[in-house]
Structure 1
């Protein structure tokens, strides 16, 4: 039998309706079309398919335009010279990305052998019997054994970023990396910083936003990949670095506890029963907050993991994160958010001696706003990470009560405490008090706003009275 002869897999390939509809629509296409890569792996595992890779001998870009017309999607030519295009389809289950490319080699087998890992080097013919598998490198066996194996000795030479992908995939399938592949990863770790910053960022974000990011980061540290992605962590003493991993782990558990995927057993499995009881009323708004995306659909979850790692272990974290944003080409809004998270007074969450009066809560929230929510979640993860198995339940419950008050203030009392409506503006203050534009006016407006939070200001007259008090005190 030819190595690309379709055969029955050990378990059925489960394709979503959108793929089967596409197969019917393209049944008469002149060139064979194959589904390859992660979509085949996901079909084998019965997992949802969000990205579909198609290859054909020639005419990939016209095929992409045909698919976009058939499925009412948008098409973008990614690389005209290499004949690669992307189709974006909105489905009831969310966005489906369809990448259509010409073979990387002369034929299908050559294309599959040039891919990264054997579990990604399987195919199924779109116009054929889609229950059959094409598997020249025995990727099915590696997938059954949860093994990440490179396709060839040149896999990492041709693209060092595949080392990060190996880490992500090994965690994703809860498997391990084959011995020779792991040795090759160590040999090519030094080449990773030579990748384009944008590609390094995107692969790093996939790792950090994926499942069990703490496990992935530990592997990266052991293999020698961490210096290329987060050198700020790689140079830390081992105890501090391990603390960062532990806090990321606990943050991952917290995000799972508020996610739509939470099951009845989640809280018990992660020891977060008290968390769920205390904060479940915010679950919907926290889900919306955490599921946000930045430029090019980068998940906010990845920024949270970076902020958590820096917050608990990197000195002068708010300043130290700036070079990281330059190095990985994060957008200015992402940079601003990271800095705001790290500057927020997250110690307020766990400092049981500090009062949580309205003025303290206003001062916490007025600057960071949404970043303050991130800081609360990170503070809770820090509390769990630093305590470890020695967590004192009484203290933990009191910390959760404080988090409940803080989040309740932001989500339910914003107009009263976080940002009360202005009763006076700077021009009116300057006119009434005969002041020139200066920093003094800003300080007076801050004093007025804080007095409003405390109930001392309700209109322009009471606001000016507070301003006069402040000026008199300064004089």
Structure 2
């Protein structure tokens, strides 16, 4: 069966680079496909170009790279896919050229995941669409529709991708897509952890990660990804909490996303008008560039720090169901839930094949997520408390401060006391100023003595005792109990006298 080109029902505004490629690839049978066509049709920004051709795609990708003085990589030798990385008009472009995955273009398109990704346009006929699965109809009706009944069973990761596309484009999942996800989505447990991890991180990096979790739950995929998550549903909490643990967790994620948006160029009038979020952003305005730089960090394989932080938010109360107790007065308690939750999130990280640094960050954030609240409840934030906070958490302390704000707002909800909230925000401000503005005085100052000086002066041998002395001396310096080398030597002398045994 031959595909019939149909005129687009709306003007297609192609990037200037496409017209440039027309001139450099004359007489080639080559088609623009996938997300490129979809985004041009929807008038969304385009930064990547995807092409298919009946030929081996690698020589064409190499030709493009050479033409524009870019770099070439053989992306997939088995499938004959090449990638060109070029700069054009001061913009970086990623251009993939693949050989058709079937005997014909139509078969290639029908074998794709969703109809909105299964439209092709000939490079030399930019006004006509090749659309065998009615991707245009899906876009007009704002639906994510599978290309075929077995689309999910052939690649179960597509179940997660469908949810992400639904959220990103604000489309509904079509009935047949939902049916296929429920039927074949559970096979995702047999897919390589790395592929699942990458799609989960993309989901958590969307603008509404709580909606992603709600969809995963509704489509019965949540237990496959995060086995303990559903246990939070229906677990009640005492005041000031107003929600069960699950709904509280989703609200924490919403607040965290709103807070990060309010700090970013994506902030809107709605986020600016939110009192709770607005007071954080106002109070931390002088630290905004540092906070934005922190959350825009990327982990290995382009995993976003924001997604990692959302994973920590999901896990911060994950152990409450298994640590819940009720005292004689009917009050609920969750003793030890941060420690147990840290163990669980580390297990998730290991299962997803995250790097050791990512796992350590998750563990530390969940383990210490209540530290700011404990400092707030103590009534006074001393130099010693600030020092110990950053000593124990390091850079993860920034994540804990952000998560703690989102947690506090979700705890109180509509019962938020503005005065108490401002006092809590002041605690966060003081902590972050200690890290970003007074680090040399409070966190990362030069030591007055080192281990060799202590051993030589007091005739000590190397061992754990030297580390204990240095830890204590560092804290004494931080709180200004010791400010000169002579005072440091006297401090060590007193320490040794107190620890004769």
Q: Supply the distance in 2 between the matched residues of 1:114 and 1:53 (Cα, whole angstroms).
A: 16
From the superposition, tell whether residues 292 and 90 of structure 1 become closer, same or farther in structure 2 (CA, over 3 Å). Answer: farther
Match for residue 40 of structure 1?
A: 37
Aligned match for 1:75, one of 72, 77, 85: 72
Match for residue 227 of structure 1?
A: 223
Match for residue 290 of structure 2?
A: 285
From the superposition, tell whether residues 342 and 474 of structure 1 become closer, same or farther in structure 2 (CA, over 3 Å). Answer: same
Per-residue CA deviations over 1:105-132 (Å, capped at 9, x if unaligned) read: 1222111111101111112222322x43
State whether residues 344 and 364 of structure 1, in contact with CA within 8 Å, keep that contact through their aligned partners in structure 2: no
Matched, 1:392 2:392: no
Per-residue CA deviations over 1:397-432 (Å, capped at 9, x if unaligned) read: 111111111111111111110111122111111111
2:228 alignment partner, SS class:
helix
Aligned match for 1:242, one of 238, 247, 251: 247
Q: Supply the distance in 2 between the matched residues of 1:322 and 1:473 (Cα, whole angstroms).
A: 39
Match for residue 266 of structure 1?
A: 271
1:456 alignment partner, SS class:
coil
State whether residues 86 and 98 of structure 1, in contact with CA within 8 Å, keep that contact through their aligned partners in structure 2: yes
Aligned match for 1:427, one of 445, 449, 452: 452
State whether residues 34 and 124 of structure 1, in contact with CA within 8 Å, keep that contact through their aligned partners in structure 2: yes
Greater shift after overlay, 330-339 or 208-217?
A: 330-339
Matched, 1:22 2:21: yes
State whether residues 88 and 96 of structure 1, in contact with CA within 8 Å, keep that contact through their aligned partners in structure 2: yes
Matched, 1:122 2:147: no
- Quote the offset at 1:264 in angstroms: 4.1
From the superposition, tell whether residues 340 and 70 of structure 1 become closer, same or farther in structure 2 (CA, over 3 Å). Answer: farther
Runs of 4+, deviation exceeding 4 Å: 90-95
Match for residue 190 of structure 1?
A: 186
State whether residues 35 and 123 of structure 1, in contact with CA within 8 Å, keep that contact through their aligned partners in structure 2: yes
Normalization by structure 2: what TM-score? 0.89
State whether residues 345 and 363 of structure 2, in contact with CA within 8 Å, keep that contact through their aligned partners in structure 1: yes
Gaps spanning 5+ residues in structure 2: where?
235-243, 320-336
1:367 alignment partner, SS class:
helix
- Quote the offset at 1:134 in angstroms: 2.4
Q: Supply the distance in 2 between the matched residues of 1:195 and 1:150 (Cα, whole angstroms).
A: 19
Q: Supply the distance in 2 between the matched residues of 1:291 and 1:184 (Cα, whole angstroms).
A: 35
Aligned match for 1:353, one of 367, 374, 377: 377
Match for residue 152 of structure 1?
A: 148
- Quote the offset at 1:167 in angstroms: 0.4
Aligned-pair RMSD on alpha carbons? 2.0
Q: Supply the distance in 2 between the matched residues of 1:269 and 1:44 (Cα, whole angstroms).
A: 35
Match for residue 340 of structure 1?
A: 364
Greater shift after overlay, 160-169 or 441-450?
A: 441-450
Matched, 1:370 2:370: no
From the superposition, tell whether residues 94 and 224 of structure 1 become closer, same or farther in structure 2 (CA, over 3 Å). Answer: farther
Aligned match for 1:443, one of 443, 468, 475: 468
Normalization by structure 1: what TM-score? 0.94
Greater shift after overlay, 232-241 or 443-452?
A: 232-241
Per-residue CA deviations over 1:111-167 (Å, capped at 9, x if unaligned) read: 1111101111112222322x4332222212211221011000110111000000010
Q: How does 1:198-213 map to 2 (within 5 A)?
A: 198-213=194-209
- Quote the offset at 1:332 in angstroms: 1.6
Aligned match for 1:306, one of 311, 322, 328: 311
From the superposition, tell whether residues 164 and 240 of structure 1 become closer, same or farther in structure 2 (CA, over 3 Å). Answer: same
- Quote the offset at 1:243 in angstroms: 2.3
2:124 alignment partner, SS class:
coil
- Quote the offset at 1:52 in angstroms: 2.1
